[in-house]
Amino acid sequence: MTVASTESLTKVYGDRVAVDKVTMTVRRGEVYGFLGPNGAGKTTTLRMLLGLIRPTSGSARASTSVGALIEGPGFFPYLSGRANLKVLARHRGLPDSEVERVLERVDLASRGDDRFKGYSLGMKQRLGVAAALMGDPELIVLDEPTNGLDPAGMADMRALVVDLARGGQTVLLSSHLLAEVQEICHRVGVIDDGRLLRESTVAELRGGVSLRVRATPEPEALAVAMRLAGDDGVRRDTDGSLLLTLPADRAPDVARALVEARVDVHEITAAERSLEEVFFEMTSQKESVR
C-alpha cells in the first residue's frame, strides 16, 4: 500500500529546474532511500511532499500521518532534550508519556536531562528523530540524517533507522551515500539533476547476482555461456572474464557444461555489482544521451 507519492512533481526556481517531473511512490513498511548527489533536488522534493513549499506543477501527497526531520532541528540550546520535546508535546497536545516513549526509542532517555547545547551532533540528530516520532506518525521523513556525523554517529543513526523499520515504521530518507542506502534501504529512487533516473529495489538496481566465469579457451567458454544464459545474459568484463546473468545456484550446471565442452575452468564465483557501479553507470548514460 502506498503511503506517499508524487506525480510529475516539478519545481522551478527562476530558470533553474530543481525538480523535474518526479514520479515516485513510498510503500507502507519499507525504508525508501532517496539517493542522489548534492544539489540533485532531494530536499526540494521532500519539502513539497511535506507541503512546506508548493510545486510549480505536478502533485505530491502523503496519504497518512507524517513526522519529519528536514532541516537542522530547531531546539532551544539551554533547555534539556527532554524539556525541548515537552515544549513540542504541549504545542501539539500530546502527553508527556509520549516524550518518554520517543526518548527511549532513540536511546536518549538517560541523557534526556542534559542541555541540548552539550549534545554531540549525533545526539542532536537523534533528538530530531525523536521529535519526528512524536504522535506515532505512520511515515517518517529524514533528510540526510547522517550528514555531518562522525562514523560512530552515522552507525548509530543507521542502526536506529533499521530498528525503526523492524518495528514496522515506514521511513523515507534521503542520502548522497550509496553504501548507506545499500545497507539500510529496501527500495531506492535515484535522482540526479532534478530527474528520477530509476526507482526499484536495491537488488533489482544491482541487476541481481551474476556468475563470474574465467575459462579458456575463451571462444568456446563464450559459446557455452551464451547457451546457458542467453545471448543477452553474457557480458565480457574488462579482465577477460565472463559475467553471466544467472542465479548463484546455477554454478554447478555452468561448471559441468564447460567441462563437457572441454573448456578449462579457472574460476566460477558469484559476483554482485555494487550500487555504486550501477549509479555511476546510470549517471554516465544520462550524460551521453544529452
Choosing from 2, 8, 13, 269, the residue that interacts with ligand ATP (CB under 6 A) is 13
- Examine residue 40 and tell whether it contacts ligand ATP (CB under 6 A): yes
Using CB under 6 A as the binding rule, the residues of this chain from 171 to 230 that contact ligand ATP are 176
How many chain residues touch ligand ATP (CB under 6 A)?
13
Choosing from 3, 26, 32, 44, the residue that interacts with ligand ATP (CB under 6 A) is 44
Cell of 249: 545456484
Choosing from 18, 60, 142, 246, the residue that interacts with ligand ATP (CB under 6 A) is 18
Report in angstroms how near the CB of residue 120 gets to ligand ATP at its nearest. 22
Give the chain's end-to-end CA distance (angstroms, integer): 36
Give CA–CA dist 220/11, Å, rounded: 54
Report in angstroms how near the CB of residue 41 gets to ligand ATP at its nearest. 4
Q: Which is nearer to ligand ATP, 112 or 189 (CB)?
A: 189
Q: Say if residues 165 and 137 touch (Cβ distance below 8 Å).
A: no
Which residue type occupies 124? K
Q: Which is nearer to ligand ATP, 8 or 216 (CB)?
A: 8
Give CA–CA dist 253/112, Å, rounded: 59
Give CA–CA dist 278/93, Å, rounded: 46
- Examine residue 43 and tell whether it contacts ligand ATP (CB under 6 A): yes
Report in angstroms how near the CB of residue 43 gets to ligand ATP at its nearest. 3
What does the CA dihedral 115, 117, 119, 125 come to, rounded to 10 degrees?
110
Q: Which is nearer to ligand ATP, 42 or 86 (CB)?
A: 42
Q: Say if residues 246 and 233 touch (Cβ distance below 8 Å).
A: yes
E strands, the chain, in order: 2-13, 16-27, 31-35, 57-62, 66-69, 139-143, 170-175, 187-192, 195-201, 209-216, 234-236, 242-244, 264-272
Binding window for ligand ATP (CB under 6 A); candidates: 39-47, 81-89, 250-258, 263-271: 39-47
- Examine residue 36 and tell whether it contacts ligand ATP (CB under 6 A): yes
Interface residues with ligand ATP (CB under 6 A) are 13, 16, 18, 36, 38-44, 144, 176
